[in-house]
Amino acid sequence: GLAPMDGDRVEIDGGIMEGGGQILRVSTALSCLLGLPLRVRRIRAGRSQPGLRPQHLSGLEIVRDLCEGNLEGGEIGSTEITFTPGKIKGGTHIADTKTAGSVCLLMQVAMPCVLFAASPSELHFKGGTNAEMAPQIDYTIMVFKPIVEKFNFTFNCDIKKRGYYPQGGGEVVVQMSPVKELSPIDLTERGTVTKIYGRAFVAGALPIKLAKDMSAAAVRCIRKEIRDLYINIQTVREPDDQAFGTGSGIIIVAETSTGCLLAGSSLGRRGKNSDKVGIEAAEILLKNLKHGGAVDDSLQDQLIIFMALAKGVSRVKSGPVTLHTQTAIHFAEQLTKAKFTVTKSEEEDPSKDSYIIECQGMGLINSNL
């Protein structure tokens, strides 16, 4: 059902289900897109540090700036905000977490908004590019971008500088033109794996040997399951002028005969063995390949808002539906007229555990264009 209203304001409970920053991202983006005044209470209520963290506040502020809206309660630690959106305009905007807060999560909240702006946009996101608890920028570029562009839009994403925990200091520039409407997607045929490739990196004070160890351990792990494919993992040391601080990590992508992209990634940190980092990424990739879905577990929830906005029926085959995805669906249905259904996929192969997420999108038309 639709969300409860307080006068003209939609009321959102930020403490239910997954209960994190994602509720804020989905609900403020949709509030901005639909021109719905919003109140979110109990923000991140169950977290160890409840309320807004710097990255959530930056996300709210960029949406506010994009639509010349009004934000109340926008300070660190705040557990309640009200947001009144205006008209979405394009142009140049900067969102800076001033921490290692994830630029990829900032992108998630801003991108749907600028698709329905009046003119092209250039968004500068500053913070962590390869941070824990968020997609890495390499995932955003290698997996999220080519798949989300199937909704019939394109964007340009340029990594100016990489930034790592704890200081951040990275910068990514996204350029995007608005669209009239989004097309629905059908991602239901997984196909067979045709290529496996990736990138293992070190930056700052770390020796390249760490990247080589991560890569070698990942390859050994994948080899046990997939013997007949060449696995091409680049090992790189980020140039000093293109990275701020010290970090390491790996992403591995599998591409299929039907153009699906599924990944596994992991970050290094002090005291964590580099073999372990590589194996962790490899195991996530293998798990994503095993369930038989056409998208991996990280992409699921990122597609929901686009499915809700698109004109027509979208269908995505996934592995078990994550709590993040269930949460995104819940709030997308509360705020839009989109309708989602999740059904167990009938598989010939009993080892597969896949589902079809279907959405009758609301078909938002860009009235600013």
pLDDT for position 7: 83
The CA distance from 172 to 222, in Å, is 31
With contact defined as beta carbons under 8 Å apart, do 222 and 231 qualify? yes
Closest among 282, 192, 296 to 233, alpha carbons compared: 282
- Cα 57 to its chain centre, rounded Å, is 17
- To the question of whether residue 234 is assigned a binding role by annotation, the answer is no
Buried b (16+ CB within 10 A) or exposed e, 274-290: bbebbbbbbbbbbebbe
pLDDT beyond 90 at 4: no
The strand order across the sheet containing 9-13 reads 5-6, 9-13, 38-41, 81-84, 70-72
Mean local confidence (pLDDT), 80-97: 97
Q: What is the pLDDT of residues 114-144, one digit of tens each?
A: 999 999 999 999 999 999 999 999 999 999 9
CA 345 to chain centre: 24
Q: Which residues are catalytic?
A: 324
pLDDT digits (tens, 9 = 90+) for 319-350: 999 999 999 999 999 999 999 999 999 877 88
Rounded CA gap, 144 and 354, in Å?
A: 20
Look up residue 258 and give its two tokens: 């039907």
Write down the pLDDT at residue 314.
Answer: 99
Collapsed DSSP state (helix, strand, coil) of residue 173:
strand
The β-bridge partners of 233 are 198
Structure tokens at 151: 């909704």
- The band of 5, judged by pLDDT with boundaries at 50, 70 and 90, is confident
pLDDT tens per residue, range 29-48:
999 999 999 999 999 999 99
Domains detected in the chain: 10-187+295-362 (3.65.10.20), 193-291 (3.30.360.20)
CB 44 within 8 A of CB 76: no
Is the pLDDT score of 244 beyond 90? yes
* Count of C-beta atoms within a 10 Å radius of residue 201: 26
Q: pLDDT tens across 54-83, in order?
A: 999 999 999 999 999 999 999 999 999 999
* pLDDT for the residue 348: 77
Residue 1: pLDDT above 80?
no
pLDDT at 69: 98
